[in-house]
Every structure is written in structure tokens, then in C-alpha cells.
A and B are shown apart, each in its own frame.
Chain A
């Protein structure tokens, strides 16, 4: 009982904390949707966030100490960019990058 009671409380607290981070901006800035500052952030923030997520997770996918020196992730990443600029088909670009990354990782070089 104590065990499952703790788990239930734990999950509830974790859920509330996570939801809080997502709902707070809507609670406090809802009335300022048309404010030029909010529009400015709405225009530029997504592109900047996308670029930083791509950068951080690309860096974390790479093995910087082994023989590849980071290229185990940088090469598939470059492949995604090249194929996407060429065909502009999101699924194709993602599949090509992912398959090449998996091949490199599983080859265990």
C-alpha cells in the first residue's frame, strides 16, 4: 500500500510540475497576444529553438572520443541537409539520415 501510494503521489507531482511548465505562459501572457513583443518572439523563437535543438541533439548523438571524432553523427546530419535541399521531402531526408546513422552505430567501428 505504502509503495503504490508513493508511486501514485510521485506520478501526480511529476505530472503537475511538467504541465505547469507548459501552461504558465498561457496563464500570464494570454491577454497580450497582439503585443508586438509577443509577435516578435512568435516569429523568430521557433526557428531559433529548432536550430538549437538540432545542434544540441546532433552533438549528443556523436561519439567525439572514438575513431570517428564526431563524424558518426555529423555525416548522417550532413546527408539529411543535402538530401533535403535536393528533394525537399522530409520523410526521405529523415529516413536517409537515420538509416545511415544506424548503419554506422551498429557496424561498431
Chain B
């Protein structure tokens, strides 16, 4: 099982290692704290953009309330991810807490896109390992970056495009699995609107809120045609 999980998560390895290293390098070169605080943050916080924001907050000794609000707002898009995984994580027992904790953009993408069998317990075990592998890559990247500091020898410029490519591949896979183009165009259009109207820090949450709003409207419309069924679910 570990071998197929490794294959599945390989694109994430290519993305998380350099991005984690970028965070680690930033952490040791900008701050005076011990190097191991960087992988520690990867273990207990585990958020890419969030940790990079954390470096700038640490640099100015930000107040803890400010830290809470900044991290919550930056990661608010995750609020919507759980909504589509309620059923999938149901009955996962002790694993569930970790599955929820490790729900990054990339893990969410893999967990919602991969083909699933009928053995629920087995599939949840695979989900669990995917989440664990991904976090290992991230923590490893944080540690290497923090230890090496500015002495990174290998020119890995651009390797983080692996995550963009992964999102593109998963979009195609979602399209094939659904057989409908509507959500794909909706997502791309919402991203376009958000990028035109919002500053970079709020584009993801803006686009995800917009997508969710349209899906809710569309749900109401389709329910409106069969009002009896809606009232029965009251």
C-alpha cells in the first residue's frame, strides 16, 4: 500500500520539498530563533502560506490576537473543504482527527480526486497515509531549508510548478469523473473574477466563497422545481 501511496503523492513531494525549504531558508535568514522551530511549525501548524506569513509576523513580534486573526483569515478557505468530505471521513475513528488536521489544499485535492473502492475502512486508511506522507515531505523541506539557510546549492528555481501542474491534472481528472464541465468553468470564472477584484491575499477565499454561493443558488433553483422533496428534508 505504501508504494502506491508514494506514487500518488510524488507530485506533492516535488512541490512540498522546495516550498518547505523556501520557508525554512526564510525562517533562519530573517529570524534569530533556533533552526528546529521551522520543522516544529511544519509539524504543529502545517500550512504553507500560513507559515510564510508567520515569519513576517514573528519578525515584527506581532500580538497573539493579531496572529490568530491573520492565520484564521488566511486559511479560511479550508472551511469549505470539510463540507465536501463530511461523508468520506465518517467513521474513520482515531484517524479522523489527523485527516482533518492535515487538510491542506494539496491533500484535499488528492483525497477528492482519486478513484475509490467500496471498502470504506481501507480507503480511509489510504487517505490517512496520503495525509501522513504529504506532511512528512513538508516537515522534511522545512528542516532542510532551515539547516542549509542560504547555502542551498541545487538550483531548483521553478520546481514548485509541480503543484500547479498537479492542480491542472486533477482538474482534468475531476472533469472526466463528473462528465460535466459546469463546475470546472465555474471555478475558473470565479478565480478570474477574484483575481480582477481582490488583492492576492484574499483571492482564494473570495473565489471559493463565490463558487459556493453559485452552487447554493443552483441547488435552490433545482430544488425549486421539485418543492415537495425539499420540504420532506426540511
Contacts and interface: CB of A to CB of B under 8 A. Distances in A.
A14 B54 contact: yes
A73 B171 contact: no
Contacts of B223: 36
A107 to B, nearest CB: 10
B174 A46 contact: yes
Interface stretch (B77-85, B120-128, B132-140, B141-149): B77-85
Interface string A76-103: 1100110011000011011001100110
Nearest to B31: A7
Instruction: Report whether over half of chain A's contact residues are helix, strand or loop; otherwise say mixed.
Output: helix
B26 interface: no
Nearest to A85: B172
A25 B164 contact: no
B183 A48 contact: yes
B82 A54 contact: no
Contact of A46 (B11, B84, B156): B84
Contact of B80 (A6, A11, A49, A104): A49
Interface residues of B, number: 97
A11 B40 contact: yes
B68 A13 contact: yes
Contacts of A46: 84, 108-109, 112-113, 174
Given A18-B50, A102-B157, A61 B164 contact: yes
Nearest to B190: A52
A24 B82 contact: yes
A80 B101 CA distance: 30
Q: Which of A9, A58, A73 has the most CB of B within 10 A?
A: A58
10 contacts: A3-B33, A4-B33, A25-B86, A39-B87, A45-B80, A50-B184, A52-B207, A85-B172, A101-B158, A102-B156
The 9 A-B residue pairs with the shortest CB-CB distance in the complex, in nearest-first order: A25-B82, A51-B187, A48-B187, A55-B191, A46-B112, A17-B71, A105-B158, A102-B158, A54-B167
